[in-house]
Amino acid sequence: MFETWDWYWDRFRDNEVFLIISQRKIIRRPGGYVVVHGVSPPMTELPYHAGGIAAQLGRKESSVLRSLERLRRRGKIERFENGWRLKP
């Protein structure tokens, strides 16, 4: 029974959140570097926040936070700079 319950939460609630986080937001760091031929500027990843995910999904922030915590316990995501990101 518990396995079915876990499957339900993963399939209908947590998977939506995971799909958003899996679309990583990676940007080039502005300024402060010299471009050398053949070497690209440093990249940085922006974290996802529960409020932004909740607005995108039309869910309450508390519901998204519970999904994020379940995904963290399963080792799929991690906390990153006051937000969340896909675990590398």
Q: pLDDT (tens digit, 9 = 90+) per residue, 26-65?
A: 887 666 555 556 566 677 888 999 999 999 999 999 999 9
Q: Which amino acid is at 41?
A: P
**C-alpha distances out from residue 86 to 33, 34, 41, 46, Å:** 27, 29, 22, 11
The answer to whether 61 and 52 have CB atoms below 8 angstroms apart is no
* Rounded-to-5 percentages of helix, strand, coil across the chain: 45, 20, 35
Predicted pLDDT at 12: 65
- In the chain the domains, ranked by start, together with CATH numbers, are 12-24+43-88 (1.10.10.10)
Dihedral Cα 61, 64, 69, 74, nearest 10 deg: -170
Predicted pLDDT at 33: 55
Predicted pLDDT at 38: 59
Instruction: Give 81's contacts (C-beta < 8 A, 6+ positions apart).
Output: 47
Predicted pLDDT at 88: 82
